[in-house]
Amino acid sequence: MRVFTAAFWNETNAFAPFPLDVSAFEEAGLYGPGERPDGDSEGAAVCEEARIRARAGAFDLIEGTCTYAEPSGLVTRAAYEGLRDRILAELQAALPVDIVALGLHGAMAADGYPDCEGDILVRARAIAGPKARIGVLIDPHANLSAEMVSAADVIIAFKEYPHTDFRERAVEVMDLLEAAARGEIDPVMRSWDSGALAIFHTSRPPVRAFVERMQRLEREGAALSVSLVHGFPWGDADCSGTRSLVITDGDAAAADALARQLAVEAAALAPEGMAAPVTLDAAIDQALAAQDAPTVLAESPDNPGGGAAGDSTAVLAQLIARGVRSACLGPLWDPGAVDLAFRAGVGARLDMRIGGKAGRLSGQPVDGEAEVLALDPAAFQTFAGVPVPMGRAAAVRIEGVEVVLVSQRGQALGVDLFTRLGIDPAAKAIVVVKSSRHYEAEFGKISRRMITVDCAGALQINLANIPYRRVRRPRWPIDPGPPTPFPVNPNPVGSKPQNEASS
């Protein structure tokens, strides 16, 4: 048996101001065939699992390119077409193959290609032929398209958010692909759209019970695999939405019926599974009223981990406007301000203009007299014991608020993003972090009160306020009325790739 693997992994934020070129992939990881170091990651998990099996003698493995990039705005046409064509040429050279196993996030969009994964899979199917078994491990924050479902035999999404289960899901993808290639099973997939666009955290009720139900359905043999694809609400694709995905052994009607049932359940889950957003002023009120400091405010709408710039002044400006004095905030991306702080030196006081520069959603810059508190030419924060670089960093105090300015975009992960620059967040009333969820582990050690605030930003939480252009309507919660599920009709396999004729 001959198996081809590759990974091309990115989550595109349609509202983020930065185009993503090939250097962003090189920075995060761009490995040619066989170059990827051993080890797991969300994007490479299926490639890693295939490598482990090939070493054990299960099949002959031909590795293709494996690449990922930090989320940002649209991938440039040159970067997307270049990397896609490189992987497709590797697949062509590997023929004949029995299995194509790919790591694709599912929410990548490029200039001229609103559904990159659908485009890649349609082209991969044309190259590999109708008999090859094509499988994909996706992120649940994928925007699952009909093209993807039609062109692949097996698609499985992580069940957990945070994504702690990519290893188990990669094993399942390879198990199903191998069984299908041996002719033991004949996977068929069906998907239904719930009619909702939702943000689900699987570690909390009621979504936890939904995950357990999917696992029970698999254990009891109702399907070979069951996924809930949450969707990426900031991807703004035609296929953005929470969708069910069911794989059965040759029984399309059963797959369709179960996918429909799960979409109906997901539609009911969406309104109760999503926490109500807390407005910025209400969050500040709660923090100031609290007896036990500090309160951590997560500025999720400006989380660079989801593609935002990280230089929004929405929260900083409001803290200043309300005269809050005991507060710190970080990391705020502003390489220009960092440079001025380095020129001025520690202890200097100077007029500074902070943040608000990357785009419309970054708000207005904050102007004021700043005192330079500390400088670090090679700053980092620690996440799960691993140092994560922040570039050059400067701690400044502006209008009473202590801010960590950084030259390299990144979300808040570790408390030491503040402490290494001499700021003690535990002593503040309010600690503002630019992060959605990953900050919780470390900041949970200094505070049990963590509030996700809604404000302007590329990852605005109140989905009803997002200026969507492409999302299929009507859709809850953008439009009035409850979510209405509908089937994701499979397209004829081999349907046309996107953007074929454009220049």
Contact set with Zn ion (CB under 5 A): 139, 141
Closest to Zn ion by CB, 143 or 407: 143
Structure tokens at 246: 């069911």
Q: State the nearest-atom distance from the C-beta of 144 to Zn ion, in Å.
A: 13
166: phi then psi, degrees, rounded to nearest 5: -65, -30
269's tokens: 């889950």
Q: Say if CB 41 and CB 131 are below 8 A apart.
A: no
Kindly tell me which of 6 and 138 has the beta carbon lying closer to Zn ion.
Answer: 138
133-143: burial string, b at 16+ Cβ within 10 Å, e else:
bbbbbbbbbbb
Q: Which is nearer to Zn ion, 65 or 202 (CB)?
A: 202
Start-end of H helices in 182-302? 207-219, 252-273, 280-289
Q: Write the DSSP string, 428-479.
A: SSEEEES-SSTTHHHHTTT-S-EEEEE-SSTT-S-GGGS--SSS-SS-BTTS
Amino acid (1-letter code) at residue 106: G
Closer to Zn ion at the Cβ: 139 or 302? 139
Based on CB atoms, which residue is closest to Zn ion, 164 or 489? 164
* Sheet-wide strand order for 486-488: 225-229, 243-249, 187-193, 486-488
* Residue nearer to Zn ion on the CB measure, 162 or 444: 162
Looking at the Cβ atoms of 258 and 269, the one nearer to Zn ion is 269
- Reply yes or no: is the peptide bond before residue 96 cis, omega within 30 of 0: yes
Nearer residue to Zn ion within complex by CB, 139 or 311: 139
- Residue 473 contacts by C-beta under 8 Å, 6 or more apart in sequence? 479
Q: Which residue is nearest to Zn ion (CB)?
A: 141
Instruction: Supply the minimum distance, in Å, between the C-beta of residue 343 and Zn ion.
Output: 39
The DSSP result for 129-197, as a single string, is -TTSEEEEEE-TT----HHHHHH-SEEEE---SS---HHHHHHHHHHHHHHHHTTS--EEEEEEE-SB-
To Zn ion, the closest distance from the beta carbon of 13 in angstroms equals: 12
The pair phi, psi for residue 371, each rounded to 5°, is -110, 130
